[in-house]
Amino acid sequence: MLTIEHLTGGYSPKKPVLHDVSFTVNKQEIVGLIGLNGAGKSTTIKHVLGLMDPMSGDVRINGLAFADDADTYRRSFAYIPETPLLYDELTLWEHLRLTSVAYGIDDSVFEERAERLLNEFNMAKMKKWYPNHFSKGMRQKVMIMSAFLTEPSLYVVDEPIVGLDPVGITSFLNWISKMKDRGAAVLMSTHILATAERYCDRFVILHQGQVVLAGTLADMREAIGKPDATLDDIYIEMTKEERHD
Ligand SMILES: Nc1ncnc2c1ncn2[C@@H]1O[C@H](COP(=O)(O)OP(=O)(O)OP(=O)(O)O)[C@@H](O)[C@H]1O
């Protein structure tokens, strides 16, 4: 579904941030992108979104690179950003509607999906509200519902649960698991390792712009020779040098 091969990239050709990054996210799989602040997670995501061109290497969704066909590429995934971006002049319902129009979703399909999502995320009463009345968590839920509305084959998710209350977190994780079971691929960047450990099928640990370890929890435990290690233990082990322990 998502294939990243030998990606070197970043903001200035003289000083790449990502070095030879390779990993895949398959159908029916949640892959956790893990790393310290500044490790390169957001930069990787910007390359996946097509916002940045690779300096070398390749990023493909369903075999298609952004440069091949930008419109088809963009429509093949939904992105949930860390910081919600809403239009002050559109109500919650209009935000959902705008997304559905952009993705070419049928009106009847839109209404049915939107109502289900509003109920799941406890936002039904706020359909006609404008974003200036939303809390931070509510704003995040608008982004989450917009992404789920499109039912894409790939979800790219940046720190999805920061700012959500426990009920919202459960709704998000249940819904993303349901989409995964139906065949979606999910790339999820997060610092919340206990949740990642429970919900992700595989992990990619980035450190200073390089993949230092990847695989299932079992693969990574074996690689570091610690059969009982938690994801926290593995993460700390792989990033030791930077913390000068
Ligand atoms: N717009 C930018 N211009 C130049 N350098 C940038 C820019 N954004 C990030 N960087 C640099 O790229 C490197 C990787 O940053 P990135 O934002 O990808 O890290 P991250 O893993 O997402 O971190 P965090 O967990 O803090 O969000 C850092 O050294 C950062 O200083």
3-state secondary structure string, 61-75? ECCECCCCCHHHHHH
pLDDT for the residue numbered 192: 87
Collect the ranges in the chain with pLDDT lower than 70. 241-245
Predicted local distance difference test score (pLDDT) of residue 162: 83
Rg of the chain over all Cα atoms, to the nearest angstrom: 18
**Pocket around ligand 1 at a 6 A CB cut-off:** 11, 17, 35, 37-43
Are the beta carbons of 126 and 95 closer than 8 angstroms? no
User: Domain coordinates of the chain in residue numbers?
Assistant: 1-88+152-237
pLDDT of residue 82: 86
What pLDDT is attached to residue 242?
52
If you take atom 6 of ligand 1, which residue's CA is the nearest one?
11
Q: What is the number of helices (H) and of strands (E) in the chain?
A: 9, 9
Q: What is the whole-number distance in angstroms between the Cα of residue 16 and the centre of ligand 1?
A: 11
Rounded Cα gap, residues 57 and 8, in angstroms:
6
What is the CA(6)–ligand 1 centre distance, in A?
19
| Protein residue with its CA nearest to atom 1 in ligand 1 | 11
Tell me, what's the pLDDT at 24? Answer: 97
Q: For a pocket test of ligand 1, which of 11, 36, 157, 212 has the largest count of ligand atoms closer than 8 A to its C-beta?
A: 11
For domain 1-88+152-237, give its CATH number from 3.40.50.300, 3.40.640.10, 1.10.10.350, 1.10.580.10.
3.40.50.300
ipTM rounded to 2 decimals: 0.96
Chain centroid, CA 26 distance in Å: 14
Q: What is the pLDDT of residue 241?
A: 62
Q: Under DSSP, is residue 18 helix (H, G, I), strand (E, B) or coil?
A: strand
Which residue has the least CA distance to atom 30 on ligand 1?
A: 38
- The model's pTM is 0.91
